[in-house]
Every structure is written in structure tokens, then in C-alpha cells.
Structure 1
Amino acid sequence: MPDILIVTFDAGGNVPLTLRLGRELRRRGNRVRVLDHEAQCTAVAEAGLEFRAYRNSPPWSPHQDHSTWNLATTVLAVMTNPGIGQDLLEVVREDPADLVIIDCMLFDALDAAARAGLRHVALFPTFYGCLDGMFRRGPLGIAARLKGLGPRRLWRQADLALVCSDRDLDPAGRRSHDDHLVWTGAVHDAKRPAVGRTPPRVLVSLSTGGLPGQRRVLQNILDVAEGMDIELVVTTGPAVDPVGLRTPTNATVHRYIPHNEVMPTCSAVVGHGGHGTTFRALAHGLPMLILPMSALTDQRTIGKTVAAVGAGKVLRKTAHPRRIRGALDELLAAESFRTAAATLGARIRATDGASAAADQFLRLIDRR
């Protein structure tokens, strides 16, 4: 029975994606372990996977209310600190693995795996074009290179760079001719297109992380809903306490509801441009209004991509409530958005990204 070790951290949408991949590998009879921060122990166990906790990683809690500077420095510490690479090597020395799957942003872990000669995969939970651009031009990539951890070099040293997204939408997908870089399609759980209600149900979900300005944006959206003929369902996530949000009579606010229980009856989704929420919505054929919460992430690029294919609109998070109201009205009224989202949804549902990823992992083990 092949033994697979997944090395990851909680960066939001990468968690459900990683656990879904782990479950698919486990379903096929493989032993799957997950090396992560202690806070993820319960989620990993509930997915039916074995858990190993970091011993030497810097502290990490994405659900606090981070300033931009604090978020950048904390994420950089997790990406580049040698503790995670040390933990990885200790785990495989104690209990060897046939394959190590490493989140592409854990640079020191990728470096440690390459130096030790471990067969490993760099796993991309979002557009390759987003992360490649961020780390080539952005401050996190520059800081990583100054530490001798250039992202492109580390990704190239992996036996495979696997992108769990749609190649046609990924800005890098259309221009890549690199066999080392493989797209699997999006990992999602949509079985069929959403069927809307009357009045239209709209799901609002921003980042699960504590990003600056998030509470204010949620309140703006709630204020906009008052007087609209819609049913608004808001999930705040662990970073925002729903207590204190002013809620109109046509809206409900929850800390958490599984989105796969809500989206099948929605007509639209308001999101932040995170890859996981966006592709789950698109897989259901739902048009989107996207308000990116952070310039340090993939959210702006994903928002622009959705708007460019006609499946949604994108606004700044500082947009006035009147602009949010106008965009949401247009999204619900115009047939073109629904048609574009439905076409894209049918294409996304036609590919099982988790199964395609598992095929790639097991092929790599078989080659060995």
C-alpha cells in the first residue's frame, strides 16, 4: 500500500482542497498522512486521514484580524522558516513515505525535500499564473529569494508541479508548454447546476482569514440588501464575529454553513475572489460579484478573470454601497451573466479535479 505524506498549512481555500485530495487517495487504498499545525488536527481526523503536528514551525493562525504588514511577515515566516523542513525530514526518517505532496508556498519544505532526494510534488491550490506573478514581482517572493529560497527554482526541483485549477482560465495555462507543469481541473463538489428560488437567494462569503476591512465590507453588503427583493445568506467565517452586524429582515448571518448545502438553491454569490469559493460557485453555474480583500493574494486576478469571461463583476472592497447595489442588481437581472456562468459551470463539472490529481500522484509513485 503506497504511503503518501501531505505537507500543508491553513491558508484558507487550500485546506478543503487538500483534504479532498487526501480522501480520494485514501479511497483508492493508500495510506495518507497530513503534516500541519496542531489546529488542523480535528479537520484532518474527520477526513479520515492520519495527522502529524509541526513541532518547529513558527506560530500561525490565519483567523486573527491581521494588518497587511502583520499578515505578510507572518506568512513569510511560515513559508521560509527551516522548522517546517526539519519537521518534514524527521517525519519521513521515522516513517518513510513513497511520495510527499507539499503546498507550493512552503518553500523551506520544498527545499528540504529536494536536498534529501525525496520524491515530491509542489501542489498549487490556485492559478499558477497568480502565484508565479506574486512571487516573482511581490515582496514575499523577493524576501524568499534573499533567503536562498527562490520559488521558481523550488517548483522546478519538484518531480511534478500540479495545479488544481482550470487551465483555460489560468493566466499561465494558455502560454505554458512545460510538461513538468500539469493542470488537473478545479477540485469541487458540485454535481449539477444550481436551481434558483423566488425571491433570488444570494450567498455572501468573504475570506476565512482575518483580512483588513472585511467586517466593514460585510456590513456594506448587508445594508445594500435592505429593501432588495432577495434572500441574503451571509457566512462570516471564524475571523469575523457576527455579533454586532446590523442585519435586515431579508438576511441571515451565520458563522458557518457548508456552502454545498446553500449554493444549489442560489442565484448568485458575492465573494472575495478566493479560488475555492469562486470555483465552487462557478461549478454550480452561479454568476459572481467579487470584492477582493487583499492585494497579497490571488483574489484580484481571479476577480478579473471571472469578469473577463462574462460570469461576474468585480469591485474594489472600498466600493460605495450604491455601487455594490447596482452591480448586484445587474448580476441578477442580466441574462448574459447567467449564461456565461452556466456554460463555464458545465465545463468545470465535466472534470473531476480530485480524481485527476490522484491519478498524477499514483503515476509518479508507479514510475519509481
Structure 2
Amino acid sequence: MVPLAWALRSAGHEVQVASEPGFLDTITEAGLTAVPVGPQESLEQRIRSIRGGDDAPEQFEMAPPFSPDSLYELGHAHRDGLAWEGISWLLDNLVVPRTWIMNDELVEDLVTHCRSWQPDLVLCDVMTHAGAVAADAVGAAHGRLLFWLDVTLRLRRDFLRAQERQPPHERRDTLRAWYAEWAGKHGRDFTEELVTGQFAVNVLPERCRLEPHERTLSLRYVPYNERSVVRSWINEAPRAPRVLMTFGISARQWADLPGMSVKELQETLDSLADLDIELVLTVPGELRAQLHSVPENTRIVDFVPLDLILPTCTAVIHHGGAGSFNGAMMHGIPHLVIGYSADAPGKRVLLRQTGAGLSLGPDEVTGPRVREYLTRLLEDDAFRVAAERLQREALAHPAPSALVADLERLTAEHRSRRARGR
């Protein structure tokens, strides 16, 4: 978001970034103008409160006969026959609860600010459904920013297709009900554009998109690493193939986020100890202190900017997060995804279908398995060839500065149309 925000600023536009209060310092450190919306209580605190203080992560059993992998299949050959029971269950039990948990506390503040400031365009993170409600309330154009697989749009279209096959009295739509209630409070009617956006901005190569919006602007992914310092060792030629192992910064912020345990991490390091590689592992200091030994081929750092180290790497092991995945994609690096992120199942399918890497589920992780998969990445050149093909496709997208004119055009079109209909 930061490079796109600065591209708009550099073109002379006013840009404000709305967020919960706990994120304001991150925004202002990027040199952008922050707008606090929502409660002082963080999202993590709200989720813990709803769970009744339970530290255990949410667990859901998938309603049969639904296969979760079918959500992430590239292409549309078999999507018309998906079972209503599974699709509606996912919407009712996963999408809608997360929608109101993450957005209910934001809507009123966001609408109030938009009515005061009168933006022409609202660009929304895909989880921030409140942005579409606020944009619609003031007649602004609005689009969705996509930095990962668009599961929400895929599920929504699967749902609508399945809904058409149901008797009229059984066509419940809890997501529509959420949007319709908020839109009605601000004098608007529900339209499907509230859910889908009037357009989308997507960084993934076209063949990697689950369910592309009819109006999609392709955007080159430009990493933003906050404050970055180039350490001398990064620029030194590695003595052996360099492998980065990182599981993102989310685990530091969310204490109950599933991740590799200390035991699993130590077993993995031990299993990789005799490989002729230079392993760079990013872990916080408190976790480093719990490891009983660190192999000679391993360098442990608290943090390293991905955009600085990835060009020196032969492979990367990561959790499937957007920054890690997109960063490796932009540098043509084969991936080994150890699936702890929310959309890691989709990354697994994407890697299988593009050939750009391998993946392990959380329940498959052992030191020997990580060694086996990493060795395959290092020895089979086909993974590098596939990763470099993805890189070329991603680099062909326009940079943020080149996207500004398209955003101006869509804003003029949708805002003027909305304004005439108000």
C-alpha cells in the first residue's frame, strides 16, 4: 500500500490512510497521513474478548462434502456444481463472523470522516469491508487492493452460483444482510458492488488469480520494508547457496498465531546442519534463546528486509504470507511454504500448478521432511525456471506511478456515476 500511496501523493493527490489507532505510528513512519477509526481496543484484543479470553486459536471443522482445496483451484471448469451446503457454511461460519468482528467497530467512524473529508476514491484492503460502506455513503469510487489470492470474491461467486439452484425460501445470504444493514443506516441500498468493489487492483500474475474482477488493474508489487539497514554480510558473496527461512512478523504481534514450535524449529535446524548451504533464519531474540544449538551453516537474525536479502538467495522457506510470497516471486526465488498463514492452502495449490515451489502443511512438518523438500528445490532446476517465469510475468505489470492515470480515470467514471444517482 505504501508505494501506491506515495505514487498518488507524488502525482499531486491528497492521500489519507484510515486505520485502528494501534497502527497509526506505522502509517506516520511511512510519511503518510493517518486517520484513527474504530476503538482503542486492538483487533487481537477484540477477538480474545469474543472468545472469552481463550488463548487457543479458532478451530473449525469443514462441512462435508466441501473440499477446501477447491476454493483455490485456478480456472473455473468445475465451479458450477459446488455443494450449497459447503459454500453457505463457509460464508456463515468463517466470512461473515470475521467481517463483523473486523469491521463493525470501524464503519461509523469511517463514514463520519468520509462525510467530512469527501474523498473521491477509497481503496480498501480486502478485509476492510467498512471502506466500501463508507465510500458508497458519500458517493466515492471504491476498489479493492489485492496482495494475495482473492478468496472472498471466489467464495462470493461460488455462493451466488449455488444460491441460484436453491428454492427461493432457502436462499439466505448473511453477507448481503450485513452490507444491507449498514448501507441502509446511511441511506443507501445494497448492491453487489459493495461486496466486490467497482474494480480491483491485483499484484499477482494473471494466471495466478482465483476469480479476477471484470475490471482489474494489474500492479507491480513493490516491497516496503519500513526502516531498513543494509548489513555488510548481506552484500558478501555467500560461500554456499543462501537459503532464507522466515515466518513473518505476525507471530510477534499475535501470541496465539499458529507457527513452528521451538522443538520443530530445532529439529529442522539439526536436519539441515550438514547441508552445504548458508541458512539465514529470522527469529526474535526470545525464541533464539530457547534453541539449544545453532549449526555452523546457520545465521540467526532478528529481522532482515526481504527486498535486500532475497536477491542473494537460492531458495526461501516461509509461512505463505503476502510479503514473503510476493517478495520471492518478484526475485524469481523458488518457495518452500510451510503453511501457517491464513491463505497458505491457496499458496500450496498455486505452487503446485505453477511449479514454482513446494509446500508442507503444519501437520506435515518434521526436520527430515523440510530437508527433503529443500534439497529438491536446490537440486531440481525446474523450480527455478518456473519461479523466474512468474517473476517475468509479475515484472511486466505497471509500477505504482504508471497506475495513477488509470485510477484517476476509474475514479472520474464511478464517482460521477454515483454522484448523479444520489
What does residue 117 of structure 1 align with?
A: 139
Asked if 1:208 corresponds to 2:229, the answer is no
| Uncovered stretches (5+) of structure 2, i.e. residues with no partner | 49-53, 61-93, 160-171, 181-189, 225-234, 252-256, 417-422
* Cα shift at 1:146: 7.7
What does residue 23 of structure 1 align with?
A: 6
Q: What TM-score comes out, normalization by structure 1 length? A: 0.78
Cα pair distance change 1:172/1:84, threshold 3 Å: same
Contact 1:33 1:52 in 2 (8 A): yes
> What is the one-letter code of the residue matched to 1:79?
M
Contact 1:288 1:311 in 2 (8 A): yes
* Cα shift at 1:195: 11
Asked if 1:131 corresponds to 2:134, the answer is no
Which of these two proteins has the greater Rg computed from alpha carbons?
2
* Cα shift at 1:115: 3.6
Asked if 1:44 corresponds to 2:31, the answer is no
Question: Matched residues in 1 for 2:196 and 2:353: separation?
Answer: 34
Greater share of residues in helix: 2
Please give the residue correspondences for 1:296-307 in structure 2 after superposition, counting only pairs within 5 Å: 297-307=342-352
What does residue 240 of structure 2 align with?
A: 199
Q: Deviations over 1:27-56 (max 9, x none)?
A: 222221101122322221222210111243
Which of 335, 341, 351 is the matching residue for 2:397? Answer: 351
* Cα shift at 1:268: 0.5
What does residue 252 of structure 1 align with?
A: 299
* Cα shift at 1:224: 2.7
Q: Give the SS at the match of 1:213.
A: coil
* Cα shift at 1:196: 7.7
What does residue 102 of structure 2 align with?
A: 79
Cα pair distance change 1:308/1:160, threshold 3 Å: closer
| Uncovered stretches (5+) of structure 1, i.e. residues with no partner | 1-17
Cα pair distance change 1:218/1:105, threshold 3 Å: same
Which of 332, 351, 371 is the matching residue for 1:325? Answer: 371
What does residue 71 of structure 2 align with?
A: none
Question: Matched residues in 2 for 1:57 and 1:118: separation?
Answer: 27
Asked if 1:311 corresponds to 2:356, the answer is yes
Number of residue-to-residue matches in the alignment: 335
Contact 2:268 2:368 in 1 (8 A): no
Q: What TM-score comes out, normalization by structure 2 length? A: 0.69
Question: Matched residues in 2 for 1:74 and 1:253: separation?
Answer: 39
Question: Matched residues in 2 for 1:363 and 1:85: separation?
Answer: 27
What does residue 9 of structure 1 align with?
A: none
Q: Give the SS at the match of 1:347.
A: helix
Question: Matched residues in 2 for 1:221 and 1:341: separation?
Answer: 24
Contact 2:21 2:40 in 1 (8 A): no
Q: Deviations over 1:166-187 (max 9, x none)?
A: 22111324xx6x2xx3041441
Contact 2:355 2:383 in 1 (8 A): yes
Cα pair distance change 1:67/1:147, threshold 3 Å: farther
Contact 1:223 1:248 in 2 (8 A): yes
What does residue 226 of structure 1 align with?
A: 273
* Cα shift at 1:254: 2.5
* Cα shift at 1:290: 0.9
> What is the one-letter code of the residue matched to 1:98?
D
Cα pair distance change 1:195/1:134, threshold 3 Å: farther
* Cα shift at 1:162: 2.7
Question: Matched residues in 2 for 1:202 and 1:48: separation?
Answer: 33
Question: Matched residues in 2 for 1:155 and 1:322: separation?
Answer: 47
* Percent sequence identity over aligned pairs: 25
Asked if 1:287 corresponds to 2:334, the answer is yes
Cα pair distance change 1:359/1:195, threshold 3 Å: farther
Please give the residue correspondences for 1:146-161 in structure 2 after superposition, counting only pairs within 5 Å: 148-149=178-179, 153-155=192-194, 158-161=197-200
